[in-house]
Amino acid sequence: MHIPGEVRHEDSELPFRRVFRMLVASVGVTVASIAAAAWLLPRLGGGFHDYDEHDPPLPPDAAKLGIYYDSIRDTADGERRHAAERRALESYGWVDRERGVVHVPIDAAIDMALRAGAPP
């Protein structure tokens, strides 16, 4: 019972068991969440993947921009693919002949767009 004017102090001890239970529960929830994410991510199609033939080609000045497909250039096959991508970027050709879609070098595409009246 509190007597008016009496000086009282709060209990300074932490409830160790309660704090310990909360710590264990927090660690458990964290570990379970990480395990669930590690299990779900590959099944949902997420995560990291190696580059393959469906990835867009790099622009000719990609190295200047700091864009690299380092993982594919580590092998002779990667070097051949890189050379093929560069040839495709620097040449004219069909993307889809039936639909009339072509690829042109970027410099030529810029020139064509400017001649057609696109703003610089």
pLDDT tens by residue, 59-79: 666 666 555 555 555 566 777
- Let me know whether 100 and 68 are in one domain: yes
CB 84 within 8 A of CB 93: no
Dihedral sign, CA of 99, 100, 105, 109?
negative
Residue 6 lies in a domain: no
Instruction: Please indicate, yes or no, if residue 43 is contained in any of the structural domains.
Output: yes
What's the total number of domains in the chain?
2
Boundary-marking domain end, from 6, 26, 48: 48
pLDDT digits (tens, 9 = 90+) for 3-54: 777 777 777 777 888 889 999 999 999 999 999 988 887 777 655 555 455 5
Is 75 contained in some domain? yes
Query: 20: domain range?
Result: 14-48
- Are both 69 and 35 inside the same structural domain? no
Residue 91 placed within a domain: yes
Q: How far apart are CA 53 and CA 111, in angstroms?
A: 29
Q: Which helix (H) or strand (E) holds 17?
A: helix 16-43
Q: Side chain identity at 22, as an amino acid letter?
A: M
Comparing CA positions, the residue from 62, 64, 80, 63 lying closest to residue 72 is: 80
User: For the whole model, what pTM was predicted?
Assistant: 0.32
